Amino acid sequence: DVKVTQSSRYLVKRTGEKVFLECVQDMDHENMFWYRQDPGLGLRLIYFSYDVKMKEKGDIPEGYSVSREKKERFSLILESASTNQTSMYLCASSWLRTEAFFGQGTRLTVV
């Protein structure tokens, strides 16, 4: 079975902290994605990556950056966490133009 693992299920951070969310997949997928999910807004794409060291902005990249140094790992970085970044963060991976597999999600609270 494909496995996408996010490093934390729940996370509480302080305003202004630098936050790292890690995602690892075990299926050699080219594509990896970071989404945030908020009530009534569905899933919004933050960043995605289609190869090692390659990244593209999604719909809401402001306040975030990403890193993909190895094919299996895609990190989301909140440079200076703010309360409006409190959300559920979902990582996913896929082969080219096929179904995506999701991690269990990280519920981040910024206080």
Q: Diameter of the chain by CA atoms?
A: 38
Side-chain half-sphere CA neighbours of 15 within 13 A:
4
The interface region with another protein, picked from 17-25, 61-69, 71-79, 87-95 by CB under 8 A, is: 87-95
Task: Indicate whether 101 belongs to the interface with another protein (CB under 8 A).
Answer: yes
Task: Indicate whether 105 belongs to the interface with another protein (CB under 8 A).
Answer: yes
Within 10 angstroms of residue 69's Cβ, the number of other Cβ atoms is 9
Binding track over 1-40 against another protein, x by CB under 8 A = ---x-------------------------xx-x-x----x
CA angle 99, 85, 68 (to 5 degrees): 50
Task: Indicate whether 89 belongs to the interface with another protein (CB under 8 A).
Answer: no
**Closer by beta carbon to another protein, 59 or else 79:** 59
One residue of 20, 27, 53, 59 binding another protein per CB under 8 A: 59
Distance of alpha carbon 59 from alpha carbon 56, whole angstroms: 10
